[in-house]
Chain A
């Protein structure tokens, strides 16, 4: 196999695995702020139990996020050395800002969240929760800014030629606010909020179905449901903004997303279909004729730049991008439907009796996860064959010194380790969910065992 394919597979695999965890941290982080804020305001023990329980889950997702995140940072240099030299000047400052502003904030205060209940005041604990949540969102800011620069480069000039060429920043803020960063950041964040909201919904629905921790589950479900409604609607808005931006900045990607072949024609909006690149048709397609034209220009007959406007070797794989994009949109719409229906049932006071709906909620935890992955596949594969859009081809970004067999070996190694890590994650998550929230009685019992351990230690046992 060739190094380019192996390097791409390895990067795709490790980033996709990594991206299971940060969205959960970001989404749960916001929910923790809401839960603990409610506790401080109402002094209701239920909210304290809730905060404590979800902090444990948060800590687990964070630990996995760090472990798999270190891999990502190494991989830019190990597998994509030429790319790293090319973008270092631009990408680097965003990554440094992420480290200094976000990672330290999140990891430092997380220690207080998890281990500091008896050591700091409730207000200080709440402050730590806010800082952790802020840190998790700031890390999204910088990494998405860097990735957006790869999609829509701005504020730079090219220095040097050939293998020595690299992009240098001439305007820091133009780089930060490049044409796609705000749209893509808000779209990414709302996807992450959905991941957190649907996890909380799923676990609480499970408790209700099992008849365990009823009050805890009902209270948690209310918070998560309203959050899911807000996030899913915001997701629709930011998704529309993103598509609008792509039509201006990356027309080849948009043409592939909707399999629009002919530049002289209006573009359709498909619900689903199978694009055929040879016949330039979408088979089995059901959709709105001229729908994309209407969405972009409020007119069903305005022509949209199609795939024929680009050289063949500058096109992304059309069918792949079409399918990932449409699956993401379908899942997004499904989540809006579920959130709206849930809130409706809640307001009619019928939510907690609808067994079928609770069962549905248990499995929908996978929806935002799948949608997030599919969205990133659309964004990244849709940018191909470029690694930096219009400036550097993916095939030119590789490490020259790394051989195919080395990558094959590391790919096998990561597959094995990540399989272990994923089993660990599911095992620990399952254990925490089965264990459920700690009640006040558990606290007292725990206190006594602590005292006895300390006594044992004093006696030198």
Chain B
């Protein structure tokens, strides 16, 4: 299907931007959570939690808004995917809440056992969230048993196929890499030295996963590569992704942590862009009959609603970006534990 720059495509892009924003922002929160148990001692662990303290709640709002925008722009996609992935999404909700509880509860009581158990809960919840999100993306690439009226009959076990699990682990490795770089920015002293070691290991972990999933995708889902054959300039995105990843150890070595973090952000954005390009114009692919596919056209709201929402977005998004950047600037620098801390 040829690329058409119409309202449907614009909204496909905008929702992509929202979920990319979520992956970049909550990605490091989840990565920090996944790494949490590698740090030792209460002070170090508190610094880790407080590195995301002022922002994790706000970062989850990107998920809420992304979900809202999906509901608004592509109600058929939202309805089919959310009801079809019922059990997985209920599990996701459970761990999202449980993780928030763990962050709030952990430092409220001085007992060591209390804190250790909440540390474990926080870390496992973060890992499960990253895995579930990756598994959901994997199933979208994989295709699902989508029937003519938009219904998907699929159990949680059906979702845990090998390719989707690989996508889950890749997502986890990406967030761990991203989170470890964020931590280098936010820590100092001995802890920072320790975190630098995590960065190198997590890059290796990610590159291994990335190579595996790229191969698996090319072998099992060659249609994902079709747009790249037709438009070779799209390979620049894959190149951008690799250069971004390669740039990270260099910047860490040069002690330019912020630039390492930006590289990590751009690699997340490039990866999601590759996914989106491979899918377009489909949003949910049917394994039963390709005629059942939900695309940006048959899954969308009316043209008028898409237009109204675009006006809303054009008014709102500049504000959101401005104050998000301002707020991150206000909280830049190293973590200090004080009485408002977790």
Tell me, in angstroms, the Cα distance from A81 to B336 when the chains sit together.
46
Q: Does B338 contact A (CB under 8 A)?
A: yes
B305 with A77: CB separation less than 8 A: no
B316 with A119: CB separation less than 8 A: no
Other-chain residue from A68, A446, A458 in contact with B338 (beta carbon distance below 8 A): A446
The stretch of A164-172, A265-273, A343-351 in contact with B is A164-172
Other-chain residue from B57, B72, B153 in contact with A401 (beta carbon distance below 8 A): B153
Q: List residues of chain A with CB within 8 A of the CB of B68.
A: 73, 92, 95-96, 98-99
Q: Does B301 contact A (CB under 8 A)?
A: yes
B189 with A460: CB separation less than 8 A: yes
Q: B180 to chain A: closest CB distance in Å?
A: 19
Tell me, in angstroms, the Cα distance from A51 to B248 when the chains sit together.
43
Q: Mark A205-224, 1 if CB is under 8 A from B, else 0.
A: 00000000000000000000
A89 with B86: CB separation less than 8 A: no
Tell me, in angstroms, the Cα distance from A454 to B333 when the chains sit together.
13
> A70-B93, A107-B58, A110-B58 are known contacts. Are A456 and B79 too (CB-CB below 8 A)?
no
Q: B71 to chain A: closest CB distance in Å?
A: 5
Tell me, in angstroms, the Cα distance from A110 to B58 when the chains sit together.
8
> A84-B75, A456-B43 are known contacts. Are A169 and B336 too (CB-CB below 8 A)?
no
> A89-B301, A93-B312, A119-B331 are known contacts. Are A99 and B65 too (CB-CB below 8 A)?
yes
Q: List residues of chain A with CB within 8 A of the CB of B316.
A: 97, 100-101, 104
Q: Does A453 contact B (CB under 8 A)?
A: yes
Tell me, in angstroms, the Cα distance from A420 to B97 when the chains sit together.
10
Tell me, in angstroms, the Cα distance from A458 to B105 when the chains sit together.
28
Residue on A with the closest CB to B188?
A: A457
Q: Does B142 contact A (CB under 8 A)?
A: no
CB-contacts of B37-86 with A (<8 A): 43, 53-55, 57-58, 60-61, 63-65, 67-69, 71-76, 78-84, 86
Other-chain residue from B61, B83, B87, B104 in contact with A77 (beta carbon distance below 8 A): B83
Other-chain residue from B64, B75, B84, B105 in contact with A88 (beta carbon distance below 8 A): B75
A413 with B312: CB separation less than 8 A: no
Q: Does B98 contact A (CB under 8 A)?
A: yes
Q: Does A76 contact B (CB under 8 A)?
A: yes
B67 with A74: CB separation less than 8 A: yes
Q: List residues of chain B with CB within 8 A of the CB of A421.
A: 97, 101
Q: Mark B241-268, 1 if CB is under 8 A from A, else 0.
A: 0000000000000000000000000000
B302 with A168: CB separation less than 8 A: yes
CB-contacts of A416-461 with B (<8 A): 417, 420-421, 424, 427-428, 431, 438, 442, 446, 450, 453-454, 456-461
A92 with B75: CB separation less than 8 A: yes
Q: Does B157 contact A (CB under 8 A)?
A: no
A92 with B73: CB separation less than 8 A: yes
Residue on B with the closest CB to A92?
A: B72
Q: Does B220 contact A (CB under 8 A)?
A: no
B338 with A108: CB separation less than 8 A: no
B63 with A70: CB separation less than 8 A: yes
B313 with A100: CB separation less than 8 A: yes
Q: List residues of chain B with CB within 8 A of the CB of A66.
A: 57, 60-61, 64, 100
Q: Mark A150-184, 1 if CB is under 8 A from B, else 0.
A: 00000000010001101011101000000000000
Residue on A with the closest CB to B335?
A: A457
Residue on B with the closest CB to A14?
A: B93
B93 with A168: CB separation less than 8 A: no
Q: Does B94 contact A (CB under 8 A)?
A: yes
A71 with B86: CB separation less than 8 A: no
B76 with A450: CB separation less than 8 A: no
Tell me, in angstroms, the Cα distance from A424 to B118 when the chains sit together.
13
> A421-B101, A446-B339 are known contacts. Are A77 and B78 too (CB-CB below 8 A)?
yes
Residue on B with the closest CB to A438?
A: B339
Tell me, in angstroms, the Cα distance from A97 to B107 when the chains sit together.
36
B60 with A77: CB separation less than 8 A: no
Q: List residues of chain A with CB within 8 A of the CB of B89.
A: 74, 78
Tell me, in angstroms, the Cα distance from A115 to B73 when the chains sit together.
35
A457 with B189: CB separation less than 8 A: yes
B90 with A78: CB separation less than 8 A: yes
Tell me, in angstroms, the Cα distance from A122 to B87 when the chains sit together.
47
Tell me, in angstroms, the Cα distance from A88 to B55 when the chains sit together.
30
Tell me, in angstroms, the Cα distance from A234 to B112 when the chains sit together.
51
> A100-B316, A112-B327 are known contacts. Are A454 and B152 too (CB-CB below 8 A)?
no
Q: Does B150 contact A (CB under 8 A)?
A: yes
Q: Does B219 contact A (CB under 8 A)?
A: no
Q: Does A360 contact B (CB under 8 A)?
A: no
B54 with A399: CB separation less than 8 A: no
B76 with A85: CB separation less than 8 A: yes
Q: Does A286 contact B (CB under 8 A)?
A: no
B100 with A111: CB separation less than 8 A: no
Q: List residues of chain A with CB within 8 A of the CB of B64.
A: 66, 69-70, 73, 99, 103
Tell me, in angstroms, the Cα distance from A59 to B78 when the chains sit together.
30
Q: List residues of chain A with CB within 8 A of the CB of B101.
A: 67, 420-421, 424
Give the size category of A's interface with B: 35 or more
Count contacts on B: residues with CB < 8 A to the other chain: 73
> A172-B308, A424-B105, A446-B338 are known contacts. Are A88 and B72 too (CB-CB below 8 A)?
yes
B337 with A71: CB separation less than 8 A: no
Residue on B with the closest CB to A410?
A: B90
Other-chain residue from B53, B83, B308, B323 in contact with A108 (beta carbon distance below 8 A): B323
Q: Does B340 contact A (CB under 8 A)?
A: yes
Tell me, in angstroms, the Cα distance from A454 to B341 when the chains sit together.
14
> A74-B67, A417-B94 are known contacts. Are A111 and B79 too (CB-CB below 8 A)?
no
> A70-B64, A96-B69, A168-B302 are known contacts. Are A112 and B79 too (CB-CB below 8 A)?
no
Q: Does A109 contact B (CB under 8 A)?
A: yes
Tell me, in angstroms, the Cα distance from A56 to B73 when the chains sit together.
36
Q: B155 to chain A: closest CB distance in Å?
A: 9
Q: B302 to chain A: closest CB distance in Å?
A: 4
> A95-B72, A99-B65 are known contacts. Are A115 and B79 too (CB-CB below 8 A)?
no
Tell me, in angstroms, the Cα distance from A309 to B112 when the chains sit together.
67
Q: Mark B190-229, 1 if CB is under 8 A from A, else 0.
A: 1100000000000000000000000000000000000000
Q: List residues of chain B with CB within 8 A of the CB of A119.
A: 330-331
B312 with A458: CB separation less than 8 A: no
B331 with A111: CB separation less than 8 A: yes
Residue on B with the closest CB to A103?
A: B61
Q: Does A91 contact B (CB under 8 A)?
A: yes
Q: Does A116 contact B (CB under 8 A)?
A: yes
Q: List 12 A-B contacts (CB under 8 A).
A: A73-B68, A76-B78, A79-B83, A81-B83, A96-B71, A96-B313, A100-B320, A105-B323, A109-B327, A111-B58, A116-B330, A453-B336
The 5 closest A-B pairs by CB, nearest first: A88-B75, A92-B72, A77-B82, A99-B65, A100-B316
Binding site for B on A (CB under 8 A): 56, 60, 62-63, 66-71, 73-74, 76-79, 81-82, 84-85, 87-93, 95-101, 103-105, 107-112, 114-117, 119-120, 159, 163-164, 166, 168-170, 172, 399-402, 406, 409-410, 413, 417, 420-421, 424, 427-428, 431, 438, 442, 446, 450, 453-454, 456-461
Known: A78-B86, A78-B90, A96-B313. 7 other contacts (CB 8 A): A74-B82, A93-B312, A104-B319, A107-B61, A109-B327, A112-B330, A402-B86
